[in-house]
């Protein structure tokens, strides 16, 4: 008798699907023998390496869909890896000095680089390690005469299982239109995960306990929202998920229709929904999802992607691109928020690797201590301002003193641009992020010096509750609905309204149903979130009147525990 087996994993991409299992055989990473070579073999083997690099570039170009911003961004970064002259020179130096076969040198070199990145214990750097293994693994396979996974034999509409897959595999896999993807390894922030979500394919990763007894064509259910996989489901479970699948498809069609509709409550109260982005390419995605503008452009990821400091011209072109894409829609660009978990590994600026980085040299503190870097970014921003509706936002503010220094530097930048005859918009709105308790408490003073506020709920919660949300021992204490956090948000909103300046929220709380209800109920009519969350946010807002949301927020502000607040919100959402 076969029994139903439920396996828990990591939710990566929402959606419920049932189908037949297709197992991609585990392909052990190519092992290359170590062989000595003669000096006369150096040039021919080096040419083989250069040809392999060029072939990978050509392959990436042919598989990339230029209309897909996520694919384009990932494969452009792969191309830059293949053109990284420093890395290539390191390979050549080791190759010519050790006189070992080029395939072995490349394999050991990229593995060593990946291991160093993984050891940093940083999600972004771990992602870069996966990318290096993917792109240079392809080079080694060409040198070794071996092949990547062959997806030709995967049937259409299968539930695909593998130990692990890479971003380039996602592009090939998508053409087979899988019902779902499940991986034994991997996490939700990898480039493979980003592409799978972009394609709308339900996915669960991290299934370390996936049974070895699972076989081809086994019946399976994948619940991407819950992060579970059900093998050999019984009749009752199959019926339950059949209903869920139909409801989901109906919901998907309904949400898709909302992309072009304005976000508003049942009684017509309009809420502007903006997008959070980390690259110029994502602006196109924001438009497709129906964003009213960009509420947060995280410029530090431009620097992290290149792993270096960008020139004024490079920054200017990036900011100009986003503003031109968004046309008459507002674009809020945050100045460099480096530090804490966001590090430029090989930057000229040392000292970012601190014992307590969350309370250290980050955000505006770093920029004000490195004024030349800060002025370069301000110049690039002001030069780009003539191409759209720019707003500039400063992170990690704790006092009016910091704002005073910023305003003086802005004045200096404007004067220098005028002197050089470079055009810029004179009255670009300047705002601050309210993401520290001190900023929220003195928001009445800050409101007199700024054009707008943007509340960063992620850090505001973390600092208010003294909880590191990435620390598994205390992460359960991290609650954006904690009364202290809600009171700080409410104080900020009241002080902004007194000075008649707009206030928005750009933390993750703004994209969740409970956050939408509370924030809109407090009178915040500008919310910024991940692009993909915008249609669902419109749906949530349309279920309530402005008065109902206001009552929900007032009740929450009178409640003394996050648990009670969450229970009340759940009751409202379940109605």
Q: What is the mean pLDDT of residues 271-300?
A: 92
Measure the CA–CA gap between 164 and 27, rounded to whole angstroms. 9
Query: Residue 411 and residue 206: Cα distance in Å, rounded?
Result: 51
Return the minimum-mean-pLDDT range out of 202-206, 246-250, 369-373. 246-250
Summarize the confidence of residues 549-570 as an average pLDDT: 91
Name the band, by pLDDT with cuts 50, 70 and 90, for residue 355.
Answer: low
254-269+440-502+509-575 placed in CATH 3.30.70.1060: no
According to the model, what pLDDT value does residue 347 have?
Answer: 47
Q: What is the pLDDT of residue 273?
A: 96
Instruction: Name the range with the highest mean pLDDT among 16-30, 38-52, 378-392, 460-474.
Output: 378-392
Q: Cite the DSSP H helix spans in 263-338.
A: 282-288, 300-306, 312-326
Residue 65: predicted pLDDT: 54
Instruction: Assess whether pLDDT exceeds 80 at residue 124.
Output: no
For the segment 62-118, what is each residue's pLDDT rounded down to a tens digit? 666 556 666 676 777 788 888 888 889 889 998 888 888 898 899 888 888 888 777
- Amino acid 248: pLDDT: 81
For the segment 478-493, the average pLDDT, to the nearest whole number, is 95
Residue 103 near residue 88, CB atoms below 8 Å: no
Q: What is the pLDDT of residue 1?
A: 42
| Top-ranked range on mean pLDDT: pick from 187-201, 323-337, 532-546 | 323-337
CA 279 to chain centre: 10
Place of tokens 């920054």: 315
User: DSSP state, 291?
Assistant: -
Over residues 328-348, mean pLDDT: 75
Structure tokens at 105: 């040198």
Q: Among residues 16, 133, 191, 367, which one is catalytic?
A: 191
CB 416 within 8 A of CB 379: yes
Start-to-end C-alpha separation, the chain:
41
Is-contact 336 374, C-beta < 8 A? yes
- 176 φψ region: left (φ > 0), alpha (ψ -120 to 50), beta (else): alpha
Residue range 290-299, pLDDT digits in tens = 999 999 999 9
Q: Is 431 helix (H, G, I), strand (E, B) or coil?
A: strand
Q: Which of 183-187, 277-281, 402-406, 539-543 has the highest mean pLDDT?
A: 402-406
Mean per-residue pLDDT for 228-254?
87
Active site residue 450: no
Q: How far, in Å, CA of 334 to CA of 19, rounded? A: 44
Indicate left, alpha or beta for 145 from its phi (over 0: left) and psi (-120 to 50: alpha): left
Structural contact between residues 43 and 14, judged by C-beta atoms closer than 8 angstroms: no
- Domain 272-428 in CATH 3.40.30.10: no
Annotation marks residue 191 as catalytic: yes
- CATH for 39-144 is 1.10.274.10
Number of other residues whose CB lies within 10 A of the CB of residue 4? 14
**Residue 178 near residue 151, CB atoms below 8 Å:** no
Q: Among residues 16, 133, 450, 506, which one is catalytic? A: 506
Q: Say what percent of the chain tops pLDDT 70.
A: 89
pLDDT band at 32 (very low <50, low <70, confident <90, very high): confident
- Cα of 227 vs its chain's centroid, Å: 19
- Quick check: 184 pLDDT over 80? yes
Domain boundaries, the chain: 5-27+150-232, 39-144, 254-269+440-502+509-575, 272-428
Tell me the average pLDDT of the chain.
Answer: 86
What global pTM score does this model have?
0.68
Q: Choose the weakest-confidence range: 165-174, 203-212, 367-376.
A: 165-174
The DSSP secondary structure of 441-494, one letter per residue, reads HTHHHHTTT-SEEEE-HHHHHHHHHT--TT-TTTGGG--TTSHHHHHHHHHHHH
Other C-beta atoms within 10 Å of 150: how many?
Answer: 11
- Domain 5-27+150-232 and domain 272-428, same fold? Reply is no
**With 80 as the cut, is the pLDDT of residue 27 above it?**
no
Say what the pLDDT of residue 515 is: 94
| Strands, E assignment, 184-271 | 203-205, 219-223, 228-231
Averaged pLDDT, 550-564: 93
* Of 343 and 63, the one with more pLDDT: 63
* CATH 3.60.15.10 is the classification of domain 5-27+150-232: no
**Strand partners of residue 330:** 389
Q: Is the pLDDT of residue 461 over 70?
A: yes
Per-residue confidence at 344, pLDDT binned at 50, 70, 90? low
pLDDT band at 2 (very low <50, low <70, confident <90, very high): low
- Residue 89 or 393, more confident: 393
């Amino acid at each position: 008798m076969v029994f139903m087996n439920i396996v828990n994993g990591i939710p990566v991409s929402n959606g419920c699907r049932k189908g037949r299992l297709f197992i991609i055989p585990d392909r052990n990473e190519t092992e290359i023998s170590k062989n000595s070579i003669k000096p006369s073999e150096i040039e021919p083997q080096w040419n083989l390496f250069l040809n392999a690099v060029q072939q990978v570039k050509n392959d990436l170009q042919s598989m990339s869909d230029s209309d897909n911003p996520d694919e384009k961004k990932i494969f452009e970064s792969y191309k830059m890896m293949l053109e990284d002259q420093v890395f290539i020179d390191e390979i050549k130096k080791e190759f010519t000095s050790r006189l070992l076969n080029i395939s072995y040198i490349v394999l050991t070199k990229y593995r060593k680089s990946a291991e160093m990145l993984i050891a940093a214990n940083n999600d972004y750097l771990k992602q870069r390690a996966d990318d290096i293994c993917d792109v240079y693994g392809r080079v080694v396979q060409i040198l070794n005469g071996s092949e990547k996974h062959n997806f030709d034999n995967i049937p259409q509409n299968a539930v695909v299982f593998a130990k692990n897959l890479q971003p380039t595999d996602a592009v090939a896999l998508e053409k087979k239109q899988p019902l779902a993807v499940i991986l034994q390894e991997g996490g939700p922030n990898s480039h493979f995960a980003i592409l799978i979500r972009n394609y709308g394919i339900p996915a669960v990763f991290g299934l370390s306990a996936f049974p070895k007894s699972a076989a081809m064509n086994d019946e399976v259910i994948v619940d991407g929202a819950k992060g579970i996989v059900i093998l050999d489901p019984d009749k009752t479970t199959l019926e339950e998920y059949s209903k869920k699948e139909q409801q989901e498809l109906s919901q998907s069609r309904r949400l898709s229709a909302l992309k072009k509709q304005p976000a508003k409550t049942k009684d017509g109260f309009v809420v502007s929904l903006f997008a959070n982005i980390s690259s110029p390419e994502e602006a196109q995605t924001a438009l497709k999802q129906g964003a009213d503008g960009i509420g947060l452009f995280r410029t530090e990821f431009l620097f992290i992607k290149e792993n270096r400091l960008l020139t004024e011209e490079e920054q200017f072109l990036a900011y100009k691109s986003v503003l031109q894409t968004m046309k008459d829609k507002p674009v809020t660009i945050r100045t460099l928020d480096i530090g804490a978990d966001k590090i430029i590994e090989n930057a000229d600026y040392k000292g970012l690797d601190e014992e307590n980085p969350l309370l250290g040299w980050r955000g505006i503190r770093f920029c004000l201590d490195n004024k030349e870097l800060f002025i370069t970014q301000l110049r690039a921003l002001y030069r780009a301002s003539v191409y759209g509706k720019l707003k500039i936002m400063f992170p990690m503010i704790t006092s009016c003193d910091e704002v005073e220094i910023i305003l003086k530097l802005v004045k200096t930048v404007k004067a220098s641009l005028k002197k050089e005859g470079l055009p810029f918009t004179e009255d670009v709105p300047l705002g601050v992020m309210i993401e520290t308790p001190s900023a929220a408490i003195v928001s009445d003073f800050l409101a007199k010096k700024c054009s707008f506020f943007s509340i960063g709920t992620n850090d505001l919660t973390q600092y208010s509750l003294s909880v590191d949300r990435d620390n598994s021992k205390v992460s359960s204490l991290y609650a954006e609905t904690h009364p202290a956090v809600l009171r700080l948000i409410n104080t900020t909103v009241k002080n902004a309204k007194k000075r008649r300046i707009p206030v928005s929220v750009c933390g993750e709380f703004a994209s969740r149903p409970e956050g939408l209800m509370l924030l809109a109920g407090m009178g915040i009519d500008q919310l910024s979130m991940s692009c993909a969350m915008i249609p669902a946010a419109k749906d949530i807002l349309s279920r309530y009147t402005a008065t109902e949301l206001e009552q929900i927020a007032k009740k929450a502000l009178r409640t003394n525990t996050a648990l009670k607040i969450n229970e009340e919100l759940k009751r409202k959402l379940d109605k």
